[in-house]
Amino acid sequence: MTTLIFVFGIVYYGAEKVNEEARVTTENYVKAIIDDRLNQLQTLTKDYAYWDDTIEFAYHSQNSEWIKENIGEYLTDTFKITDLVIINSQNNPVLSLKYGQVDNSTYATINKDALLSLIEKARQSGTVPAPVSGILMIDGTPAIVGVSVLAPEDGTSLPSPRPLLLLANRLNQGYFQELSKQYRLSDLRFTASGQSSATDSSIKIINPLDKTLGRLSWRPEQHGDLVIAKLQLPILLLLVVITLITLFIISVSRKTERRLQKAYEDLAFNANHDALTGLANRRLFNEIMQQTIRSAKRDNISCALLYIDLDDFKDVNDAYGHEAGDQVLVKIANRIKSSIRESDTIARMGGDEFIVLLHKTVNYDDIKATAEKILKNLTQPIAVQDNEVKLSASIGITICPDDGIDLDTLMSKADSALYNCKKQGRNAYQFYADFEKMAKPC
């Protein structure tokens, strides 16, 4: 009896620890999922805010047929966008869509204090506009919202303060069902009261003003309870066959550990890699870059950042469809990867933007050679639906520590150099240091 009680106590304690560890792991993972969805919506908002057609046909002329085909039903069907609003300089809606249809009542239901915070942040971005995102309440429902100023590619000026594009995914029941199925989260729901059951896992949902809107809750998988359930009969038989039951406990524990390890590895991979190309995503790249910057400071070494943006990639999507465009992006990712060393890092930042980190660079010539190799490989024809397309790219380059010793500075300068490449004709690369010299007055 003493042995039985002792073994049962160990199993129960272990089961509780497994449950708690699984709970914490899943909560951290769900936070990463929400952060990743915010980043994805930022990128999508920026893509459409920088599209000249959006400005011409949605902001200026409000062409209903174009809106329906390109940003109305298309965004709803493809990206599950529930709300789209174009906001003018007076913060009033010029165009308001709900589930792809014109609905002027949507804008009035958005929490205005939190929205104005996002609007102000978006308009305060520098010469190269940066999109922002956050979670707001729309018509009593939490929604992931992305906001970006409209920025014509041809440099045409717009009224000041600059008008904006807002895209939103409402966290409604359909959205929760999709997340539940994709990430195995049982009974996923939003609780506005901010309180959840003691048996549930949950994370806080906070708006841009740091106000808690409520909690995202779900019923956690009780791996430890499953172990106890499987071991009830063997534990009772332990009085007779203690040795056999002990071996059984060890076997089940190891199997459970392997399943948990595999599940954790799958969760970690999905949270840190791009679903389309398998490359590192923005979250993982930022971690690698921070580690590299610390090494550069400590060991007095250099590294280079190559910010790559495909030229006129939207033409491929327009001509062949987004599915073919995705296939082209996979090929582009492989070509970039084959152009760099195995020790270097490549990530997809979203859309048609990639970034390469060259570790332990020695001089400009090595960096130039890599950039030229990437451009050469990307200009090779790509077979698409019995046709061949030719793409090019523009590359902005910064060097750590010469151009900065923090991630935001290096990324911003690389983006500026890339933006100048676009202005100068594309299919080229430029170091930020060269761009800075040209920008200085004589």
Q: What is the pLDDT of residue 26?
A: 85
Q: Which domain does 79 fall in, by range?
A: 50-171
* Same-domain pairing of 163 and 302: no
* Same-domain pairing of 287 and 413: yes
Tell me whether residue 45 is in a domain.
no
Local structure of 101: helix, strand or coil: strand
Q: How many residues does the chain have?
A: 442
Tell me whether residue 18 is in a domain.
no
* Phi, psi values for residue 385, rounded to 5°: 50, 55
Per DSSP, 72 falls in state: I
Tell me whether residue 131 is in a domain.
yes
CATH for 57 = 3.30.450.20
pTM above 0.85, yes or no: no
Among 171, 206, 236, residue at a domain's last position: 171
Bridging pattern class, strands 303-311 and 353-358: antiparallel
Tell me whether residue 314 is in a domain.
yes
Task: Please list, in sequence order, all residues whose beta carbon lies within 8 angstroms of the beta carbon of residue 97, skipping any fewer than 6 positions away.
Answer: 67, 71, 72, 83, 84, 85, 103, 106
CA angle 109, 112, 116 (to 5 degrees): 140
Contact 19, 224 (CB under 8 A): yes
Instruction: Extract the tokens encoding 223.
Output: 């791996």
Instruction: Extract the tokens encoding 323.
Output: 């599915």
Among 155, 171, 187, residue at a domain's last position: 171
Tell me whether residue 383 is in a domain.
yes
Tell me whether residue 262 is in a domain.
no
DSSP for 341-392, please give it: -TTSEEEEEETTEEEEEETT---HHHHHHHHHHHHHHHTS-EEETTEEE--E
CATH for 305 = 3.30.70.270
For 112, how many CA atoms within 13 A lie in the half-sphere containing its CB?
A: 6
Instruction: Provide the number of structural domains found in the chain.
Output: 2
Per DSSP, 109 falls in state: G
Local structure of 47: helix, strand or coil: helix
Among 121, 145, 171, residue at a domain's last position: 171
User: Rounded to the nearest 10 degrees, how much is the dihedral formed by the CA atoms of 413, 416, 418, 422?
Assistant: -170
Q: What is the pLDDT of residue 154?
A: 75
Task: Please list, in sequence order, all residues whose beta carbon lies within 8 angstroms of the beta carbon of residue 178, skipping any fewer than 6 positions away.
Answer: 80
d(CA 7, CA 19): 18
* Gyration radius of the chain over CA positions: 26
Tell me whether residue 63 is in a domain.
yes
Give the Cβ contact number of residue 140 at 10 Å.
Answer: 8
Per-residue burial over 412-422, b if 16 or more Cβ lie within 10 Å, else e, is bbbbbbbbbbe
Q: What is the pLDDT of residue 348?
A: 94
Contact 93, 87 (CB under 8 A): yes
Per-residue confidence of the chain (442 residues) as pLDDT tens digits? Answer: 787 777 777 776 777 777 778 788 888 988 999 999 999 999 999 999 999 999 999 999 999 999 999 999 899 999 999 999 999 999 999 999 999 999 988 898 999 999 999 999 999 876 677 899 999 999 989 999 999 999 888 777 888 899 999 999 999 988 888 888 888 888 888 988 766 677 788 899 999 999 999 999 988 876 666 666 666 677 677 777 777 777 888 888 888 888 888 878 778 788 899 989 999 999 999 999 999 999 888 888 889 999 999 998 999 999 999 999 999 999 999 999 999 999 899 999 989 999 999 998 868 899 999 999 999 999 999 999 888 899 999 999 999 988 998 999 999 999 999 999 988 888 999 999 887 666 554 3
DSSP for 259-274, please give it: HHHHHHHHHHHHHHB-
Tell me whether residue 159 is in a domain.
yes
Contact 18, 281 (CB under 8 A): no
Instruction: Extract the tokens encoding 121.
Output: 């942040």
Bridging pattern class, strands 392-400 and 428-431: parallel
Please report, as a single letter, which amino acid is at residue 72.
G
